Amino acid sequence: MTRRRSWAEPWKIKVVEPIRMTTRGEREAAIREAGYNTFLLRAEECYIDLLTDSGTSAMSDRQWAGMMLGDESYAGSRNFYALQDAVRTYYGYEHLIPAHQGRGAEHILSQVVIKDGDFIPGNMYFTTTRLHQELAGGTFRDVIIDEAHDPASEKAFKGDVDLAKLRALVDEVGAERVPYITVGVTVNLAGGQPVSMANLSEVAAYCREHGILVILDATRAVENAYFIQQREDGYAQKSVARILREMCDLSDGATMSGKKDSLVNIGGWLGVRDPQIAERARNLVVVYEGLHTYGGMAGRDMEAMARGIVESVDDDHIRARIGQVEYLGNALIAGGVPIVRPIGGHAVFLDAAAMLPNLPRDAFPAQALAAALYVESGIRSMERGAVSAGRDPTTGEHRFPALELVRLTIPRRVYTQAHMDVVAESVLEVLEQRDRMRGLAFSYEPEHLRFFQARFETFGGDGIFA
Ligand code: F0G
């Protein structure tokens, strides 16, 4: 018999927040009231909330202690300098432009660098990032490798940029119309998939040669660094902190949502090396976010993020964080649930198209599956398929991405292994009832980022289950 050697989280629980299970009748009413959109549920109506890992982390005692050291001066708060030091040390960007969250930084960067008619390549789109590029007059082009669009491909670095696609774009439109490439590390909508250091180096070398900036979406860069440590030759002995720095050193800047890796509830930044871009960004940040030494964050928020950055790169922390996601993913695989492989960094992604082959794509199977999982179990998840992809700005048609997914996103340091067991069992229960599930049609469709506030009706009768 082989002896099992378990490991456990490198923390213990000091404060608890009660959660409440609801009845099935309550949940049926709640999801109908929410227009079958999990974003429109009240949090108190959810039992295990896996909507997102964004801003939902549990802060440590040290971070909470740091909140009491908030210097709420309008200008030049000491907490800004603490944050600047942490970003310089762990990410290596000289100039820090603080923002209220990631999309604030994306907005500033897009307005500063993109000219009307420019093209911005990226390794798969992200909702807010692409919209800010479009609003600044740019056109997004997907240059991720083909395997990223295949949920079953087991490739270790499914987030990699396809250099041939990048070259083809630059040859087609000219390097002068490509101000920068966004490299998401990890790639959220591909299933939390990482980019290899080898690929990042190649992208950086190509872009340097053509005068194109490399901007990381560093939102989950620590998780990416962990995958490099685990999977890429030559990195097993290096710390996650060192790998993170090596990744950032290949780039010219980054946008960051501190609400993920950095273990805080709010905050973000733009980090760059070029002093001229920094100056233009500082000029704009005062228009949209706040003074250039707080950018929409309170002093205490900046202190919590400075401390969160240090905790985030701890090898034990990140192993436990991703280990929990893998635990859930492996439980689902064992139960025969089709999920995106390999298991990603921040979430397990259910392959809704494979789970519900009878529902056509324009009946939004992932949206329906998220609603059904909620009704069955009180677990809140998020659609990441055609609803999230929105409409093509030129043709006005729905964009149907290859991936039609439901994301079970794991907040950091919040739930236990027992919660993960309940989640896996609940997904299996829904899978057994898939033949009774109804599709959805829009009853209200907002113009921008429609997934947040859209409302739906069920086809062929009331209720998500027939
Ligand atoms: N980039 C990535 C890869 C993200 O996942 C997010 C947010 C952002 C940028 C924008 O950051 O929310 O701070 O403005 N993702 C959240 C999610 C909303 O649930 O995946 P933000």
7: confidence class by pLDDT, cuts 50, 70, 90: confident
CATH number for the domain whose boundaries are 24-53+315-458? 3.90.1150.10
Mean pLDDT, range 357-374, rounded to an integer? 97
Cα distances from 341 to residues 171, 184, 350, in angstroms, run 33, 18, 10
Question: What's the CATH class of domain 61-312?
Answer: alpha beta
DSSP per position, 110-157: HHHH--TT-EEEESS--HHHHHHHHHTT-EEEE-B-GGGG-TT---TT
Relative orientation angle of helices 24-33 and 365-377, to the nearest 10 degrees: 150
Q: Is 384 a catalytic residue?
A: yes
259 lines ligand 1 (CB under 6 A): yes
pLDDT digits (tens, 9 = 90+) for 143-195: 999 999 999 999 999 999 999 999 999 999 999 999 999 999 999 999 999 99
Q: From the CA of 281, how far away is ligand 1's center (Å)? A: 20
Q: From the CA of 155, how far away is ligand 1's center (Å)? A: 24
Mean pLDDT, range 84-113, rounded to an integer? 98
Mean pLDDT, range 22-43, rounded to an integer? 98
pLDDT at 3: 81
Q: Identify the residue whose C-alpha is closest to ligand 1 atom 10.
A: 102
Q: From the CA of 54, how far away is ligand 1's center (Å)? A: 7
| Eight-class DSSP state of 186 | S
pLDDT digits (tens, 9 = 90+) for 399-443: 999 999 999 999 999 999 999 999 999 999 999 999 999 999 999
Mean pLDDT, range 120-141, rounded to an integer? 97
Separation of alpha carbons 401 and 149, rounded Å: 8
Separation of alpha carbons 449 and 419, rounded Å: 30
Backbone φ and ψ of 151, nearest 5°: -60, -25
130: confidence class by pLDDT, cuts 50, 70, 90: very high
Q: Which two tokens stand for residue 84?
A: 């600047």
pTM as predicted: 0.96
Q: Is 217 a catalytic residue?
A: yes
5: confidence class by pLDDT, cuts 50, 70, 90: confident
Beta bridge partners of 442: 456
Q: Is 165 a catalytic residue?
A: no
102 lines ligand 1 (CB under 6 A): yes
Please say if the pLDDT value at position 1 is more than 70. Answer: no
Q: Identify the residue whose C-alpha is closest to ligand 1 atom 18.
A: 54
pLDDT at 84: 98
pLDDT digits (tens, 9 = 90+) for 227-236: 999 999 999 9
Query: What is the best residue among 257, 388, 449 to mutate for testing ligand 1's pocket, by most ligand atoms within 8 Å of CB?
Result: 257
Separation of alpha carbons 302 and 314, rounded Å: 19
Q: Is 451 a catalytic residue?
A: yes
Query: What is the best residue among 129, 219, 384 to mutate for testing ligand 1's pocket, by most ligand atoms within 8 Å of CB?
Result: 219
Mean pLDDT, range 349-364, rounded to an integer? 96
Q: Is 127 a catalytic residue?
A: yes
The amino acid occupying position 309 is I
pLDDT at 333: 98
Separation of alpha carbons 453 and 462, rounded Å: 21
What residue ranges do the domains of the chain occupy?
24-53+315-458, 61-312
Could you tell me how many residues make up the chain? 466
Under the phi-then-psi rule, with left for phi > 0, alpha for psi from -120 to 50, and beta for the rest, what region is 170? alpha
